[in-house]
Chain A
Amino acid sequence: MSDAALTHPLVLCIALPLLGAMLVTALPRWSVRLGILAAVATAAAAVALAATVWQQGTLHLMLGGWDRQLAIALRADGIATALVLMANLVALGISVYASGYFHDRVRVRSFWPLWLLLWAGLNGLFLAGDLFNLYVMLELLGIAAAALGALTGNRDAVAANLRYLLVGLLGSISYLLGVALLYTAYGTLDLGLLAAGIADSPQLLAVNAAAMTLMVAGLALKAALFPLHFWLPPAHANAPAPVSAALSALVVKAVFYLILRLWLDLFWPITGMAAAMLPALLGAVAIVWGSWRALRAERLKLLAAYSTVAQIGYLFLFLPLLAATPPGPARDDLLAALLLMAVTHGFAKAGFFLAAGLVQTNAGHDRIDDLGGTAQRLPATTFAIALSGSALIGLPPSGSFIGKWLLMQSAIATGQWWWVIVVTTGSLLASAYVFRVLSRAFGLEPTPMRFITDARAEVPALTLALVSVAVLGLASGPVWTLLGLSAAGVGA
């Protein structure tokens, strides 16, 4: 078992970036090359993992040879696999982009170890099968993210990311207390065993409810659910572009993934419609408020950050709809839609931030009102913004279009039509903020002579954006397939 286990894609996904982190720390002069190598290897492992899950269904792995109660449990079901695949491809894109982004030696040498650690944390979070490992990965992610975010070193970035770090710690501690309560009651940390325990013990309602509150509230803080998003815009807007991309596209998504896991897998028996309404309501406000603030943002990256606040809101809308939908194809559709929204946003937001970074580097600033010349000079970059922007709005043929379609369909079918109004308003506001940027690309500045000016930076941005629009929108069937293969694992 253990020999085979070490080369299992589940393990490799976590081990490779860790190994890479160690290597780049040990050999800082080679950090870019080693970093890229680790990135490619990790992404390959993630693809291999996806292929395995595609063929075999949900994977389980107990590391260390101990029994289920104690072992480090790894697990990859459809949701996790889809997110891992998304995260790793996005991370690969970010890595390529980052390899040309930093020029200052100190930054280059700090970036790669932290980045690979963050990556390991991400994969760990998606794949961990027990609450404690989830906690460790959560902390790893939080610390690495805050450190990366502060990398630019300017005052605003440091202040914002210090706040982010503290928020993250507070959330983690809250989560840990919840874990402690659950362990008190059930004596296990394994997700599967706990789920069974909670389902069988309605009498432990108070403990369950308290644990859930602590964990979900802690995570909601880290997931920046309105009004707990206060830390996000400054932190994401002031980080270096590749870091912003990772933070907005991946880190927040990973935390949401954990909430979803808890909500659907663990606490499903005790979460009623009422409880689901609260996050959804906050999500709805997040959509409107986040989009509005994005529209009013003066800087491109701040706009993108607020857009993340809004986009996270969409994901929370799914909770009451899931609560109202009995298991069956309709619920599968809903889960797929949720996943599709998350994945699409991952690709799109990463592409957006990378492109924004390019604009910022080129113009020397990212004030939207003064971007005219730059936007027109960089057609490929502007295209990336346009494509990812349409995915953010939810225009066809992006993945989020299908997500929103199914979301609205479910809202109407379950009688919760008010979410349709929210989604519509959000889309309108999103159009407004996206096109506010794009309209800068049409000016009287000289014609750009070629499409791509800086391939290493523009190709990743454009590719990510393109995936969010064309691939996910026109071929989202695999998401269902992945879900179907692991239908047993999710909430049902």
Chain B
Amino acid sequence: MSWDYAALLPGAIVVSSLLPGVFIFLLDEESHVLRTVLNLFGAVAKLVLVGLLIYGVWLGQVFETRIAIAPGLTLVLNADALSVLFVTLSTVLWLVTTVYAIGYLEHSTNRSRFFGFFSLCVSATVGIALSGNLLTFVIFYEVLTLATYPLVAHRGTPEATRGAKIYLAYTLSGGLLLLVGAVWLRTLTGPVDFVEGGMLGDLSPDLHGQLVVIFALLLAGLGVKAALVPLHGWLPQSMVAPAPVSSLLHAVAVVKAGAFGIVRVVYDVYGVTLASQLGLLTVLGVLASFTIVYGSVLALTQDGLKKRLAYSTVSQVSYIALGTSLLGPVATVGGLVHLVHQGIMKITLFFCAGNYAETLGVAKVSQMDGIGRRMPLTTLAFTVGALGMIGLPPIAGFVSKWYLGLGGVEAGQHWVLVILASSTLLNAGYFLPILYRAWFRPLPAEWPNEHHFGTRFETMHALLWPPVITAVFCLLAGLLAAAPFSPLEWARLIAEREYGL
């Protein structure tokens, strides 16, 4: 291994949040300033490093960190276009979420523990993004589970520990299945490196039966985090977590890790052609479609705002899987770009939900009457996120939906349009009533638990600006979708490479 710049950078990106995380654990609880400095330093440093990475990848440089943990077992971190997409998403949203979390947990307890795990969580996510082989992916995938468990359980209430247990039960079981699948695959092929276009194409057809079983194992493992029905049960339960955690779980880290893994396995391990030959894409497509509709139907019935958002996540994340399951570059673009778009939209919504809860004590949809007039900026951000989720142009969600639909039609799978149409209507069914209440109903005489933070704005700065910024991202990702370096353009780049165009 050579320790030059290109070999260090991916590792450094992971370490840039890991080290601050470790130091934060060791900090005394009262060291607010130092902790905040460490948090922000980690987030900013990572952003800078990712900037360097993007620039390098754009120039065509190859970045790869390799650490041999044992003969034949190598930890590989490298940066291809797909990693860059996910890494950038996580890094940018992490910075925003860190600011939000610092504000959110202002007067809370156990902050050293929280921010320590918070940093670990992001390190693991970035590790997943940069994984260059299946082993590395599995390792970071499990670390992510471990790092998020304490975040879900953070509040320490009985519901929190229960939610965390359920989360753990699902994710660890899923992780094991993934592990078995990965090990099995390795016995067939040797080290499973992620290669654009897949690496199993040359395998003897005799092994195809085994490959199908292995895919089932991998998909089950990844499907848990990606919340594919029926493996989604943990997600609504883990809503007990503090808002920044929910945001992170649903927008960036956990569900995305699952979805990203599915993308990796389909494109860079199996290769779309083989996956399609083996009929695996059909299975994935059916599962994803069912999840999209089912999640939305359940979201309709929730009164808890975060629960409604959680089921919405169940539904929306499967857009990514749906895009992956359709053969053809256009659908791939749709799935991949939704990785980013769902992230920024959902994190906006969760930030807003957190703001309502922190500022006014509002946690239920039925309490949101007139809330737009008490918290207009937050509600505007929420509106942008919600309309984006429905897929209304020119917000980011439409871009994903368009490419998915077009990809479906190009692949000859016209039923995708039916799924997208039902999803749109269902999303409208559970988001528009919220917007209606927020903007059109009269205010209540009194809010459940109102706080004033001594600013001239509707809530404290650290809570207010993150959702506003991400909402602006949602708009920009849509309005400037065709501009260079937009998520869409990156997704196009990836799709071109995966299909060798």
A/B: CB atoms within 8 Å of each other: yes
- Within the assembled complex, what's the spacing in Å between the Cα atoms of A447 and B107? 12
Chain B residues positioned under 8 Å from A420 (CB to CB): 180, 183
| A290 within 8 Å of B (CB atoms) | no
Q: Which segment of A85-93, A265-273, A390-398 sits at the interface?
A: A390-398
- Within the assembled complex, what's the spacing in Å between the Cα atoms of A376 and B161? 13
CB pair B172–A408 under 8 Å, yes or no, is: no
Shortest distance between the CB of B65 and any CB in chain A (Å) = 13
| A103 within 8 Å of B (CB atoms) | no
| A451 within 8 Å of B (CB atoms) | yes
Q: Which 8 A-B pairs have the closest CB atoms?
A: A396-B139, A442-B153, A447-B109, A408-B183, A476-B70, A413-B187, A412-B187, A443-B156
CB pair A449–B71 under 8 Å, yes or no, is: no
Query: Per-position contact with A for B124-135: 1 when CB-CB < 8 Å, else 0?
Result: 000000000001
Chain A residues positioned under 8 Å from B445 (CB to CB): none
- Within the assembled complex, what's the spacing in Å between the Cα atoms of A395 and B176? 9
Chain A residues positioned under 8 Å from B175 (CB to CB): 395
Q: Which segment of B24-32, B339-347, B427-435 sits at the interface?
A: B24-32
CB pair A397–B139 under 8 Å, yes or no, is: yes
CB closest residue in chain B, given A397: B139
Binding site for A on B (CB under 8 A): 25-30, 67-73, 75, 109-113, 135, 138-140, 142-143, 146, 149-150, 153-157, 160-161, 164-165, 168-169, 172-173, 175-176, 179-180, 183-184, 186-187
- Selected contact of A451 from candidates B27, B111, B183, CB within 8 Å: B27
CB pair B156–A402 under 8 Å, yes or no, is: no
| A336 within 8 Å of B (CB atoms) | yes
- Within the assembled complex, what's the spacing in Å between the Cα atoms of A443 and B153? 9
CB pair B183–A395 under 8 Å, yes or no, is: no
Query: Per-position contact with B for A382-420: 1 when CB-CB < 8 Å, else 0?
Result: 010000001001011100011011101100110000001
User: Could you list 17 A-B pairs, sorted by A, with CB under 8 Å?
Assistant: A329-B71, A333-B71, A396-B140, A396-B143, A397-B143, A405-B135, A408-B184, A409-B187, A431-B172, A435-B149, A439-B153, A450-B28, A451-B25, A475-B69, A479-B70, A480-B70, A480-B71
Shortest distance between the CB of A318 and any CB in chain B (Å) = 15
- Selected contact of B110 from candidates A402, A428, A447, CB within 8 Å: A447
Shortest distance between the CB of A292 and any CB in chain B (Å) = 16
Chain A residues positioned under 8 Å from B183 (CB to CB): 405, 408-409, 412, 420
Shortest distance between the CB of B209 and any CB in chain A (Å) = 14
- Selected contact of B139 from candidates A401, A443, A449, CB within 8 Å: A401
CB closest residue in chain B, given A413: B187
- Within the assembled complex, what's the spacing in Å between the Cα atoms of A329 and B72? 10
10 further contact pairs, Cβ within 8 A, besides A336-B71, A404-B179:
A329-B72, A336-B70, A340-B70, A376-B110, A402-B73, A405-B73, A439-B153, A451-B26, A473-B69, A480-B71
How many Cβ-Cβ contacts under 8 Å join chain A to chain B?
A: 113
CB pair A477–B69 under 8 Å, yes or no, is: yes
Chain A residues positioned under 8 Å from B67 (CB to CB): 474
Chain A residues positioned under 8 Å from B72 (CB to CB): 329, 333
| A444 within 8 Å of B (CB atoms) | yes
Binding site for B on A (CB under 8 A): 329, 333, 336, 340, 376, 379, 383, 390, 393, 395-397, 401-402, 404-406, 408-409, 412-413, 420, 424, 427-428, 431-432, 435, 438-439, 442-452, 473-477, 479-480
CB closest residue in chain B, given A440: B161
Shortest distance between the CB of B335 and any CB in chain A (Å) = 27
CB closest residue in chain A, given B175: A395
- Within the assembled complex, what's the spacing in Å between the Cα atoms of A423 and B153? 27
- Within the assembled complex, what's the spacing in Å between the Cα atoms of A450 and B28? 4
CB pair A412–B168 under 8 Å, yes or no, is: no
CB closest residue in chain B, given A452: B26
Chain A residues positioned under 8 Å from B157 (CB to CB): 444
- Within the assembled complex, what's the spacing in Å between the Cα atoms of A473 and B184? 20
Shortest distance between the CB of A125 and any CB in chain B (Å) = 27
CB pair A447–B71 under 8 Å, yes or no, is: no
- Selected contact of A442 from candidates B69, B140, B160, B180, CB within 8 Å: B160
CB closest residue in chain B, given A481: B71
- Selected contact of A402 from candidates B69, B111, B155, B165, CB within 8 Å: B69
Shortest distance between the CB of B124 and any CB in chain A (Å) = 10
- Selected contact of B68 from candidates A412, A431, A477, CB within 8 Å: A477
CB pair B109–A396 under 8 Å, yes or no, is: no
- Selected contact of B156 from candidates A329, A340, A444, A480, CB within 8 Å: A444
- Within the assembled complex, what's the spacing in Å between the Cα atoms of A397 and B140? 8
- Selected contact of B176 from candidates A424, A443, A452, CB within 8 Å: A424
CB pair A396–B142 under 8 Å, yes or no, is: yes
Supposing A336-B70, A409-B186 touch, asked if A424 and B168 sit within 8 A by C-beta, the answer is no
CB pair B142–A442 under 8 Å, yes or no, is: no
- Within the assembled complex, what's the spacing in Å between the Cα atoms of A404 and B135? 13
- Within the assembled complex, what's the spacing in Å between the Cα atoms of A390 and B168? 13
- Within the assembled complex, what's the spacing in Å between the Cα atoms of A390 and B149? 13
Shortest distance between the CB of A454 and any CB in chain B (Å) = 15
CB closest residue in chain B, given A386: B146
CB closest residue in chain B, given A430: B172
Chain B residues positioned under 8 Å from A383 (CB to CB): 25
CB pair A396–B187 under 8 Å, yes or no, is: no
- Within the assembled complex, what's the spacing in Å between the Cα atoms of A117 and B74? 41
CB closest residue in chain A, given B140: A396
Shortest distance between the CB of B161 and any CB in chain A (Å) = 5
- Within the assembled complex, what's the spacing in Å between the Cα atoms of A449 and B161? 22
Shortest distance between the CB of A410 and any CB in chain B (Å) = 8
CB closest residue in chain A, given B153: A442
Chain B residues positioned under 8 Å from A329 (CB to CB): 71-72
Chain A residues positioned under 8 Å from B160 (CB to CB): 442
- Within the assembled complex, what's the spacing in Å between the Cα atoms of A259 and B153? 43
Chain A residues positioned under 8 Å from B70 (CB to CB): 336, 340, 402, 406, 476-477, 479-480
Shortest distance between the CB of B453 and any CB in chain A (Å) = 22
Chain B residues positioned under 8 Å from A446 (CB to CB): 109
CB pair A397–B69 under 8 Å, yes or no, is: yes
CB pair B29–A395 under 8 Å, yes or no, is: no
- Within the assembled complex, what's the spacing in Å between the Cα atoms of A451 and B183? 37
- Within the assembled complex, what's the spacing in Å between the Cα atoms of A448 and B111? 10
CB closest residue in chain A, given B73: A402
Chain A residues positioned under 8 Å from B26 (CB to CB): 451-452
